[in-house]
Structures are given as C-alpha cells and as structure tokens.
C-alpha cells in the first residue's frame, strides 16, 4: 500500500478488530488510536463525560504525527467529524478511510458486552451518534457494514484498496 488507512466509526463498531487484522494481513504498522488518548480524556470517558473538540485536539495531533512518522499504517480512530478527518488527511496525503457503519442499538449492545474493564462508558454511545458526521460523499472513503463477518470486511477493503491504487 502506498497510503495509510483509517478504520473509523462510533465506539463498538469494530474498528480495532478490522484495523489490526488489516495491518497484519498487509504487513503495515497498526496504530491503536485509543492508546494515544491522554489520561484526562480516558478519565472523562470512564465517567461518561463526552469529549469536546478541545479534548480531541491534542489526540488528533498525536495521531497525525504517528501517520507522518514512517511507512504507511492502519489507524483505528473514530474520526467522527469531517474536521477530524481533514486534520488527519493534511498529515498524510492520500489517506483513505473505511467507515464502519452500524446502528445505534448494535453499537450499544457491543459496548455493553465489553464490561467494566473497558474505559468507554455505555452512556456515551448516544453522544457518538450525535457527534458523527457521516463521511458519505467524501473522497477516499469506503463504507462497510460493521455487522458483516471480519473475513468479508477484510476482503471488501482489500478489493477497494487495490482499485484505489490502480486509479
């Protein structure tokens, strides 16, 4: 792959699962976006307090620097707003996004199934959907059904990436 890829969507859509599988199969660096949140952001999310644009600014700067730090990578990152995606695009020319589309009820079910060990509070799922600016119509974005089996999702992304690289 010549360009990096972001697997995006609301919490519970399966970003980490798909992104890590893609990175392994494509032999690319995997960047777990959640691993780069500040302790203050993690504490807010544990408490059920939604992050603001200001909270996310430093996180996005860190992720942008990670994308710039070497060979192409696969990043798992919610990228809920167009401005967030544009920030990452500015850091990584040719950046592509895979939007994992999921219903609110399914996302909530998945987040609930994680249990208390995960930092993300179920009370934040509605805020994720309220914040989401769908990337429909943006260039370099593939929409996938987040409820599809992982091997199917990987195949869809592989086919799309190959088409993008030939274009």
pLDDT given for residue 42 in this prediction: 79
* Domain residue extents for the chain: 5-166
Q: Using 50, 70 and 90 to split pLDDT, how confident is the model at 117?
A: low
Q: What's the Rg (C-alpha) of the chain?
A: 15
Q: What is the largest CA-CA distance in the chain?
A: 46
**Across residues 115-140, what is the average pLDDT?**
80
* Mean pLDDT over each residue of the chain, to the nearest integer: 89
- pLDDT the model gives residue 119: 55
Residue 120 Rama label (left phi>0; alpha psi -120 to 50; beta)? beta
The per-residue pLDDT for 98 is 98
Confidence of residue 46 (pLDDT cuts 50, 70, 90): confident
Q: What is the mean pLDDT of residues 48-69?
A: 90
Confidence of residue 66 (pLDDT cuts 50, 70, 90): very high
Q: Where are the beta strands (DSSP E) in the chain?
A: 5-8, 29-32, 73-76, 96-101, 141-145
Q: Per CATH, which fold does 5-166 belong to?
A: Rossmann fold (3.40.50)
Helix (H, G, I), strand (E, B) or coil at 31: strand
Q: Which of 37, 89, 81 is nearest to 58 (CA)?
A: 37
Question: CA geometry: angle at 111 spanning 95 and 143, to 5°?
Answer: 30
- Torsion sign over Cα 160, 101, 77, 151: negative
Beta bridge partners of 141: 97
* Confidence class for position 24, pLDDT limits 50, 70, 90: very high
pLDDT band, very low/low/confident/very high, at 44 (cuts 50, 70, 90):
confident
- Mean predicted confidence (pLDDT) in 80-93: 95
């Amino acid at each position: 792959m010549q360009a990096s890829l972001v697997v995006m969507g609301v919490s519970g859509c399966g970003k980490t699962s798909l992104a890590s599988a893609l990175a392994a199969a494509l032999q690319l660096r995997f960047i777990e976006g959640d691993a780069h949140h500040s302790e203050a952001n993690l504490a807010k999310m544990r408490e059920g307090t939604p992050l603001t644009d200001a909270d996310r600014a430093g996180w996005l700067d860190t992720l942008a620097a990670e994308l710039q730090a070497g060979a192409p990578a696969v990043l798992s990152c919610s990228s809920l707003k167009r401005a967030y995606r544009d920030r990452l695009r500015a850091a990584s020319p040719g950046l592509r996004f895979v939007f994992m589309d999921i219903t609110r009820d399914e996302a909530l079910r998945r987040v609930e199934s994680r249990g208390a060990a995960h930092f993300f509070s179920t009370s934040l799922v509605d805020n994720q959907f309220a914040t989401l600016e769908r990337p429909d119509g943006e260039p370099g974005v593939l929409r996938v059904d987040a409820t599809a089996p992982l091997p199917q999702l990987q195949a869809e992304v592989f086919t799309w990436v190959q088409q993008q690289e030939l274009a």
